Amino acid sequence: MTPKLAAELIGTFWLVLGGCGSAVLAAAFPEVGIGLTGVSLAFGLTVVTGAYALGPISGGHFNPAVSFGLWAGGRFPAAQLLPYVFAQVVGAVIAAGVLYVIASGKAGFDLSAGFASNGYGEHSPGKYGLGAAAVTEVVMTFMFLIVILGATHKRAPVGFAGLAIGLCLTLIHLVSIPVTNTSVNPARSTGPALFVGGWAIEQLWLFWVAPIAGAIAAGGVSRTLFDSAEGPAVTGK
C-alpha cells in the first residue's frame, strides 16, 4: 500500500497546487491574468498529467469522492478507502501550505480574499445559495464519476482515460466556478479551508457531503449502465 498512498498524496498535492495555485496566483494577475477559463484548464491539466504519471501506481484517484465512487461502482476495495482518503487530504493540506508560503511572499496578500476556498451564499463567487451549491456539487460530481467509470471500463478504448477525465474536470470548472468555486473534491476543499478558517471551515461540510453523495450515486448507476449490458451494439449489424 505504501507506493499507492504515496502516489495519491503526490497526485492530490499536484492537483491542489496546480489548480488552486492558478486561481490564487494567476487568475487575476494584472493585465495578463488567466481568468476562469485558465483556472478551469489548470485543474484539468493537473488531472491529465497526474493520471498518466501516477495512475499506474495507485489508479490516480486524487479525490475522496472518486475513491468512494469507484468503491460504489465495484471497482475499489472498501478496505483501502480510508487510507486513500487520508493520503489525499494530507497531500491537499501540504499543497495549500506550499501555496500559502508562495502567495504570502507578495505584499498585500490577504487570506480573507478566499484563498481558492469553496463556499456558498456570501462566499460563493456569484453569491449562489446553499441549495444551488448543493445541487451543483452533487450533479457535477455525479457526471465526473460517470465519465471516470466509463472511460476506465474494460470496454473503453485503452490509453485515453486520463485525457477524457481531465477534459471532464475542465468542463466542470467552466460551468461551476461561479457557483461554488468548484469543489467536486473534498480534499481540494479541505486544504485551503484549513488556512482560511472561519467561514471556510463552517461551510466545508457541504463540500464533503455533496461530492461523495454524487459519486456514490454515479457508482450505483454505472453498475447498471456498464456492467449489466452485454456490450455496445455494432453499427449496421
Q: How far apart are CA 101 and CA 153, in angstroms?
A: 40
Q: How far apart are CA 34 and CA 160, in angstroms?
A: 27
Residue type (1 letter), 29 = F
Q: How far apart are CA 92 and CA 51, in angstroms?
A: 16
Q: Residue 231: which pLDDT band, with cuts at 50, 70 and 90?
A: low
Taken in order 179, 180, 181, 182, the sign of the CA dihedral is negative
pLDDT digits (tens, 9 = 90+) for 60-101: 999 999 999 999 999 999 999 999 999 999 999 999 999 999
Mean predicted lDDT score pLDDT of the chain = 91
Q: Residue 233: which pLDDT band, with cuts at 50, 70 and 90?
A: very low
CATH architecture designation of domain 2-227: Up-down Bundle (1.20)
In percent, how much of the chain has pLDDT > 70?
94
134/225: higher pLDDT:
134
- Please state the pTM of the whole predicted model: 0.91
Assess contact for 10 and 92: CB atoms under 8 A. Answer: no
**At which residue does the C-alpha cell 476543499 appear?**
189
Would you state the pLDDT for residue 126?
Answer: 94
Q: Where are the domains of the chain?
A: 2-227
Assess contact for 15 and 61: CB atoms under 8 A. Answer: no
Q: How far apart are CA 225 and CA 156, in angstroms?
A: 13
Assess contact for 47 and 162: CB atoms under 8 A. Answer: yes
pLDDT digits (tens, 9 = 90+) for 174-221: 999 999 999 999 999 999 999 999 999 999 999 999 999 999 999 999
pLDDT digits (tens, 9 = 90+) for 32-65: 678 899 999 999 999 999 999 999 999 999 999 9
